[in-house]
């Protein structure tokens, strides 16, 4: 354990209710994304959104019914409970018309608060509702009745920061701008925490007019489903506090499922689709199967935990001033250090406290839960010497990782389910990735299967060659290696031989792997496509912050 870490001052994380209120009232324009079940909610959080829109249309469609209050509010609540349990970001639920009168709505608000749902949006139409984009002549409720719903909800919310958002349908119903503004004023007076002004026109003119005339004493939320061609900066300039991407996860999933189903129906084989769908272990990862494995190591006796080594000694010279005071493993990617992301992924597979090999600005690596080893000669030595410094970790199943690689947690599940002594991950789409990054790779690989089609066959290919000058490369090494206990012992022995023959100091990991192959060791290569990034320069970092 690193005993030199500075004291860490713990601060209490704000509640989901407060987080949503901050999205509504904070500076600038914020964005939330549609989800309709626990899985899609996790994907929204994984993408980096700060909040979730639990769409009534999407939840209804996912369950095979119409968006006309054919689901009861208790059935919707069941879905929301799974979504809330699966995520740590706030959920704003599409509450339709409140599922009845004020009495139904105040009970709904209580139940939402109990399940940590941060807010509800209700629309001023009659119950049962009709989707706003279907037909004409939408029926609106009386202003006084709707204000009563808002007041009843506010009087019965069980958290001060629970948000009630009033959705104005006057423009949808053809009632005009004056009616929309009149309703907005009444709903704000009744206690609404924000308003949605809704439109089904393809141009944003009436939305922009409303925003210009409204005094913004409560925030304005926009849902640009129909006027999607409008530049987001235009909506920002109009004063939108929150923008909802309202149904696009559902719609994209429909398109993807139709395409996959059609191909399987036509070709009657999985060969063509397997490489284009999410890996099965991605599903397990999203379901947090790793947490169960970690819990089993904690609560069930007799199960060994894998070891881990993270090689994080280098500065990252091409990253300029960003690494003036810290190594690149501590650079921030979407709110978390690269190393912090790796530690979280290792924790999910139940790994022991990882050995982190530091070098440049070793004192800046101050994350809890690590065994910090310092390679003081990092400027003169390479990866093999850093791994040798942490050789005590090579006494059981082990994950070895570059300290500058950002990857999805399911990568580790892919590695841990294998039984071979040496397993690496290889991306066969290396050329596309390399051109995008505009950087040379020192970890090109040649595999025993000669083309991308064969790489997805049942028999996993073996590593044949690795290095920057590999001709006709089949892929790029991701920078993750898994060894069995036997493999770890053989790797450790090879490092000892390299130290004795004087080749250790300047060697990279690729050189070590080639020496192992020369001794007859087989190194299995599993293929992954995308979902990772090696941070070598500012372009890599920017792309990782956008995509990972």
Residue among 442, 445, 478, 483 at smallest CA distance from 464: 445
Contact 334, 545 (CB under 8 A): yes
Cα 268 to Cα 183, 261, 264, 273: the distances in Å are 56, 10, 5, 11
Q: Catalytic one among 50, 67, 96, 465? A: 67
Contacts 24+ apart (CB under 8 A), 37-41: 37/62, 37/79, 37/82, 37/83, 38/82, 38/83, 38/85, 38/86, 39/86, 39/286, 39/287, 40/249, 40/250, 40/253, 41/82, 41/83, 41/86, 41/87, 41/91
Strands 524-527 and 422-427: parallel
288 is catalytic: no
Q: Is 230 helix (H, G, I), strand (E, B) or coil?
A: coil
Contact 263, 271 (CB under 8 A): no
- Write b or e for each residue in 333-349: b if 16 or more Cβ atoms lie within 10 A of its Cβ, otherwise e: beeebbbebbbebbbbb
Encoding tokens for residue 195?
Answer: 């308003």
CA distance 152 to 187: 12
Q: Supply the Cα-derived Rg of the chain in whole angstroms.
A: 27
Contact 507, 383 (CB under 8 A): yes
Contact 475, 445 (CB under 8 A): yes
**Catalytic residue IDs:** 67
């Amino acid at each position: 354990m690193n005993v030199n870490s500075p004291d860490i001052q713990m601060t209490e994380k704000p509640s989901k209710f407060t987080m949503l209120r901050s999205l509504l009232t904070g500076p600038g324009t914020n964005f939330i994304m549609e989800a309709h079940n626990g899985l899609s909610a996790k994907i929204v959080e994984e993408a980096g959104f700060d909040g979730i829109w639990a769409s009534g249309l999407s939840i209804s469609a996912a369950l095979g019914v119409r968006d006309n209050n054919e689901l009861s509010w208790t059935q919707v609540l069941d879905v929301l409970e799974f979504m809330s349990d699966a995520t740590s970001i706030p959920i704003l639920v599409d509450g339709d018309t409140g599922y009845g009168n004020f009495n139904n709505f105040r009970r709904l608000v209580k139940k939402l608060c109990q399940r940590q749902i941060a807010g509800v949006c209700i629309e001023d139409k009659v119950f049962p509702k009709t989707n706003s984009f279907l037909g004409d002549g939408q029926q609106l409720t009386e202003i006084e009745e709707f204000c009563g719903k808002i007041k009843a909800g506010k009087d019965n919310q069980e958290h001060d920061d629970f948000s009630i958002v009033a959705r104005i349908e006057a423009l949808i119903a053809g009632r005009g701008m004056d009616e929309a503004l009149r309703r907005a004023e009444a709903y704000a007076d009744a206690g609404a925490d924000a308003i949605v002004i809704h439109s089904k026109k393809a141009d944003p003119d009436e939305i922009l007019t409303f925003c210009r005339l409204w005094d913004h004493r409560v925030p304005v939320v926009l849902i640009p489903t129909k006027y999607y061609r409008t530049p987001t900066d235009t909506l920002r300039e109009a004063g939108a506090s929150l923008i909802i991407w309202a149904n696009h996860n559902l719609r994209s999933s429909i398109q993807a499922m139709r395409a996959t189903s059609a191909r399987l129906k036509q070709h009657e084989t999985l060969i063509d689709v397997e490489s284009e769908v999410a890996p099965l272990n991605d599903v397990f990862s999203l379901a947090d199967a790793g947490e169960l494995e970690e819990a089993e190591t904690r609560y069930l006796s007799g199960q060994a935990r894998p070891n881990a080594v993270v090689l994080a000694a280098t500065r990252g010279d091409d990253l300029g001033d960003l690494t003036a005071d810290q190594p690149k493993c501590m650079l921030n990617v979407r709110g978390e250090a690269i190393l912090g992301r790796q530690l979280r992924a290792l924790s999910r597979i139940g790994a022991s406290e990882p050995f982190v090999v530091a070098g440049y600005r070793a004192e800046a690596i101050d994350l809890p839960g690590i065994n910090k080893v310092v390679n003081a000669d990092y400027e003169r030595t390479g990866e093999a010497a850093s791994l040798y410094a942490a050789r005590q970790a090579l006494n059981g199943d082990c994950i070895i990782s570059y300290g500058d690689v950002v990857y999805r947690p399911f990568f580790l599940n892919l590695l841990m389910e294998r039984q071979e002594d040496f397993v690496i991950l290889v991306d066969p789409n290396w050329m596309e990735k390399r051109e995008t990054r505009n950087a040379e790779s020192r970890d090109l690989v040649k595999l025993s299967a000669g083309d991308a089609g064969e790489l997805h066959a049942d028999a996993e290919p073996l590593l044949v060659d690795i290095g920057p000058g590999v001709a006709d490369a089949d892929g790029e090494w991701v920078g993750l290696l898994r060894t069995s206990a036997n493999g770890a012992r053989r790797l450790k022995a090879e490092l000892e031989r390299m130290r004795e023959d004087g080749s250790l100091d300047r060697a990279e990991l690729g050189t070590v792997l080639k020496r192992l192959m020369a001794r007859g060791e087989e190194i299995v290569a599993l293929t992954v496509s995308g979902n990772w990034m090696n941070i070598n320069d500012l372009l890599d970092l920017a792309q990782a912050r956008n995509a990972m």
